Structure 1
Amino acid sequence: MTAELLPKRAARVRDHLDRFVGSGVVPGAGVVLAHRGEVQVVAVGTLAFEGAGATTPMAADTILRMGSMSKPFTAACAMTLVEDGTLRLDDPLDDLLPELADMRVLADPLGPLSDTVPAKRPVTLRGLLDSTFGTGMVMTASPIAEALGAVGRPEPDEWMRRLGTLPLVHQPGEAWLYDTAANVTGVLIARATGTSFGEALRERVFGPLGMKDSGFTVDPAELGRFATAYAKDDAPDGSPVVDDPPDGQWSRPQTFESGGGGLLSTGHDYLTFVMSLLSGEGVLSRASVELMTTDQLTPSQKKLSGFGPDYFDAMGWGFGMGVATGPNRSGHATGTYGWPGYYGTAWYTDPAEENTTIVLMQREHMGNQNLPVWDEFWAAVYGVG
């Protein structure tokens, strides 16, 4: 892509956002487009349908719930600990995560919790970062799916205790299972550094990169920049339902700082992080970035994915993010890496072309890239001319 095409892409994206926001799905949405040092921000609408947010424009410095786009931050923080020698990718973690030592594994992933066999190998950081350590989201109704759902989100030590009482779904290293690994990684980082997970992120990632608006809570003075989050479905009268207002749960310290989906950030901050990965001149070496942004999974690990055997047809998984491995419905070029978030945020970077797209909105389940609206959006981003 030549630099002069970036404004054309921005114009197509604006047309799409005008129609999308105009349909009433969200009060506002924004997109950050970057290409080889040039950046364009397209923002439409406001931070809320109601209240003060209804007159505050969506912008690149709007604070948003990033959902699963937290996972790359978590992986990056863990890799800083590998680089300074605090952790090793393939060492057992029994000393720091004793709850996961000497684990039992389900004989049948969908069978009774009492029918188990010993784990063949210990849990490692590599298994946490590539989500193959043995447990995670199970999409099929089963005893383990019910038990994992009942773990909840108490304070981290209690959460680990509860998780450790359950058998693993698969042998460590056998299958990719989503989400839980990133939350375990957050607990591991806190224990390895002797601080909270949030403080470790500030010291090792956010502070060094100048990401002043990223963290687990919003400063009271900045609540005016915090977008309202809306539920998936409207009320019976057609009005949008608030899922979380600016003065809701993220205005207070979190009991559980979720490395899988609990972080807040802005388009500006997220771009700063992404550019540090692309340049290899941030908090991580190029070797660490390559591990994070390269498919780490084997065909057999993909086949046993908790999301089904077809989920990885054109995708792999690095450390904390997806990697395009072939032609896909979104139009992401092979080698493109990134990930979406629960409330409709999304980020993808094509390193070969140095193209980055960051999407900003706040409505439940809008991060699902199979929704038809995303096909139209990515067509606007990647369209020719």
Structure 2
Amino acid sequence: MDRLDTVVGELDALVDAGRLTGFVCGVRQDGRTLIAAGGSRSPDGSALDPDTVFPLSSNTKPVGGVLALRMVELGILALDDPVATLLPELSAPRVLTRPGGPIDRTVPAGRQITLRHLLTMTAGAGWAGEGSPLTVAMGERQIAPGPYPPPMEPDEYLRLLGSLPLADQPGVGWYYHTSSDVLGVLLARATGATVADLVADHITGPLGLADVGFTADRERLPTSYGLGPDGGLRALDTVDRFAHPPRFESLACGLTSTVSDYLEFLDVLVGGGVVLGPQYVEAMTTDRLTPRQRADAEGFIAPGCGYGMQVEVRPDGVVGWAGGLGTIGYVDRRTGRGAAVFTTQSYDVPGTAEALDTVWALLR
């Protein structure tokens, strides 16, 4: 508890200095969870409650990884089968002649995209660099990586994505985010169920996580903030976005959760529990990056770290991920200790990164 008190003091100091609006943080080990909250739901607003429900943005991705590997465990999918069987939109992709190059200069893909590629962010689809022609084209079609789900139905999303070339050959480079959205479409088509139902049936239901989902009670959602053009806080429309069922149930960035429920989910990444067999947890939490892919992932993963299947893999046995709207959750697989810090402001706001970095003290 002393460690949590120390971190809460550091976070409270950020609130007092005007660098952090509000936070909820917590630790969990051996089935015991400790949660603390500070700051407010909005500047000069009411106090933030420990059971506040936050938009997870990219902290959704590890949930998608667990769900996909559960489908492999059940024999519904195989890691190295081509996804084109279920996603014909991706059956004959073109590939840029060079990453970042013009989108009309392409060659045929040399191999099929597999589930393994999607899980490891090596399908060739994803963040292709600020201002690159492919990034611009994805933005024009509203399918570029971002903190919110695509504003369209899954079939339309796949049609639009399939109309563009890949940034790289499948299995060669590491390209963030888009593979996780494709993953959700794949799982839904493979099972005939909605992504929301799959998450409920295979993860949140068995674990008893009542506050993880694609929608949340608007009264429990805080106002989230980004950086405004004047350098001040700019209110985001996260409450309206997550108070209603989305058109696209994104496994890249679509879930919401309390800190308490997310900490319970992180237990799965230690031993699998009732959700996933240990061999699949091991597969998910093993570094998969080649040297080229590790270079591509620079800026997304920390120096000296790797990437498994939808999680960062640190050399000390710690795995997890963070979300661009200001959340982070990791677990130490050696000790079983999990930690999370959720804030009400995005990474671009000064003070957010400093707040999220306190998660490492909580894990010690």
Do both proteins adopt the same fold according to a TM-score greater than 0.5, normalized to the shorter chain?
yes
Matches of 1:197 and 1:176, distance apart in 2: 25
- The answer for unaligned runs of 5 or more in structure 2 is 143-149
Q: Does 1:271 align with 2:252?
A: no
Paired position in structure 2 for 1:4: none
Matches of 1:92 and 1:36, distance apart in 2: 40
Give the Å deviation of 1:278: 1.8
**Alpha-carbon distance change, 306 to 381 in structure 1, aligned in 2, over 3 angstroms:** closer
Q: Deviations over 1:213-233 (max 9, x none)?
A: 111112xxx332221111223
Q: Deviations over 1:150-183 (max 9, x none)?
A: 2312211111001001111111000111000000
Q: Deviations over 1:108-161 (max 9, x none)?
A: 112221211111110100000000011100224321121122231221111100
Give the Å deviation of 1:365: 2.1
Paired position in structure 2 for 1:93: 83
Paired position in structure 1 for 2:145: none
Paired position in structure 2 for 1:49: 43
Matches of 2:87 and 2:214, distance apart in 1: 23
Q: Which moved more, 1:149-158 or 1:23-32?
A: 23-32
Give the Å deviation of 1:295: 0.7
Q: Does 1:58 align with 2:49?
A: yes
Paired position in structure 1 for 2:235: 242
Identity %, equivalent residues: 37
Paired position in structure 1 for 2:284: 292
Give the Å deviation of 1:263: 0.8
Asked if structure 2 preserves the Cα contact closer than 8 Å seen for 1:9 and 1:381, the reply is: yes
Q: 1:174 aligns with which of 169, 172, 179?
A: 172
Matches of 1:367 and 1:264, distance apart in 2: 21
Asked if structure 1 preserves the Cα contact closer than 8 Å seen for 2:340 and 2:359, the reply is: no
Matches of 1:268 and 1:378, distance apart in 2: 14
Q: Which moved more, 1:150-159 or 1:90-99?
A: 150-159
Matches of 2:351 and 2:61, distance apart in 1: 17
| TM-score (normalised: structure 1) | 0.86
Structure 2 residue matching 1:81: 3-state secondary structure? helix
Give the Å deviation of 1:104: 1.2
Q: Does 1:358 align with 2:340?
A: yes
Q: Which moved more, 1:156-165 or 1:28-37?
A: 28-37
Matches of 2:363 and 2:201, distance apart in 1: 36
Structure 1 residue matching 2:206: 3-state secondary structure? helix
Structure 2 residue matching 1:288: 3-state secondary structure? helix
**Alpha-carbon distance change, 369 to 363 in structure 1, aligned in 2, over 3 angstroms:** closer
The RMSD of aligned alpha carbons is 2.3
Asked if structure 1 preserves the Cα contact closer than 8 Å seen for 2:227 and 2:349, the reply is: no
Q: Does 1:156 align with 2:154?
A: yes
Paired position in structure 1 for 2:4: 10
Paired position in structure 2 for 1:188: 186
Q: Does 1:254 align with 2:256?
A: no
Kindly report which structure 2 residues correspond to 1:1-385, keeping only aligned pairs within 5 A, or say none.
7-49=1-43, 54-59=45-50, 61-152=51-142, 153=150, 154-218=152-216, 222-233=217-228, 240-244=233-237, 246=239, 248-303=240-295, 305=296, 307=298, 313-325=303-315, 334-365=316-347, 371-375=353-357, 377-378=358-359, 380-381=361-362
Asked if structure 1 preserves the Cα contact closer than 8 Å seen for 2:23 and 2:48, the reply is: no
| TM-score (normalised: structure 2) | 0.91
Matches of 2:166 and 2:22, distance apart in 1: 41
Asked if structure 2 preserves the Cα contact closer than 8 Å seen for 1:294 and 1:335, the reply is: no
**Alpha-carbon distance change, 378 to 276 in structure 1, aligned in 2, over 3 angstroms:** closer
Matches of 2:351 and 2:85, distance apart in 1: 39
Asked if structure 2 preserves the Cα contact closer than 8 Å seen for 1:344 and 1:367, the reply is: no
Asked if structure 2 preserves the Cα contact closer than 8 Å seen for 1:68 and 1:339, the reply is: yes
Amino acid at match of 2:77: L
Matches of 2:59 and 2:360, distance apart in 1: 22
Matches of 1:282 and 1:214, distance apart in 2: 17
Matches of 2:336 and 2:349, distance apart in 1: 23
Matches of 2:90 and 2:329, distance apart in 1: 32
Asked if structure 2 preserves the Cα contact closer than 8 Å seen for 1:295 and 1:318, the reply is: yes
Matches of 2:224 and 2:352, distance apart in 1: 21
Q: Deviations over 1:331-385 (max 9, x none)?
A: xxx221000111111011111122211111121225999945555x2564367xx
Asked if structure 2 preserves the Cα contact closer than 8 Å seen for 1:16 and 1:380, the reply is: no
- The answer for unaligned runs of 5 or more in structure 1 is 1-6, 326-333
Q: Deviations over 1:27-57 (max 9, x none)?
A: 321111123344322211232336xxx3243
Matches of 2:290 and 2:201, distance apart in 1: 34
**Alpha-carbon distance change, 340 to 9 in structure 1, aligned in 2, over 3 angstroms:** same
Asked if structure 1 preserves the Cα contact closer than 8 Å seen for 2:326 and 2:356, the reply is: no
Amino acid at match of 2:263: L
Amino acid at match of 1:354: G
